[in-house]
Amino acid sequence: MRLNKIISQINKYYPPEEKIPSFIGEFQPGYLYGNVKIHKPNNPLRPIISQIPTVTYPVAKYLCKILTPYVPNDFNIASSREFIDNVTSTNSTNYIASLDVENLFTNVPVHDTINIILNTAYADNVSPLKIPKNLLKSILEICTTQAPFISPNGKLYNQIDGIAMGSP
């Protein structure tokens, strides 16, 4: 399995307690379901692909953990409580905007985004990643373009561009 080969190469750079486990056994494809958007006219569905049963899910969670420190926090709010505290504790004349973006996840350009991740993570001289850039790129590509899922009609699909809601 290509994924185990890449994991084995990555694990050479980490101590035992930080290694990604190799995958053995059976895994299932993800599955597509929908949440109703009750705030929209005609109540359309928000498609979500659960990646939990897939072989790439634990790897994606690991990647999320090691890449999170590289995400800029200048404009992020961690919780509703933080938002309320910020709004009520200031007498600022700033504006608050809420944007409704349609099909945000499915319109993410995967390869461009992977390049942004690589450029950001490896430009940080304070705490560079231990994983070689080419291996991180390979494992990101596997997690985003090789995660099959089953639709409600039972057909098997592979999302090759865009990001599925329901994956780390």
| Residue 161, pLDDT above cutoff 70 | yes
Digit-coded pLDDT (tens) for 85-134: 877 876 767 777 766 666 677 778 899 999 999 998 888 666 778 889 99
Average pLDDT over residues 19-39: 85
Quick one: tokens of 157? 């699909």
pLDDT at 111: 93
Provide Rg for the chain, Cα atoms: 19
| CB distance 57 to 167 below 8 Å | yes
- In the chain, where the domains are located: 2-71+103-158
Which positions ≥6 away from 145 have C-beta within 8 Å? 110, 158, 159, 160, 161
Higher-confidence residue of 84 and 75: namely 84
Q: What is the mean pLDDT of the chain?
A: 84
Quick one: tokens of 154? 């039972």
Burial 7-35 (b: 16+ CB within 10 A, else e): beebbeeeeeeeebeeeeeeeebbbbeee
| Residue 48, pLDDT above cutoff 90 | no
Instruction: Using alpha carbons only, give the angle 24, 29, 35 rounded to the nearest 5 degrees.
Output: 140
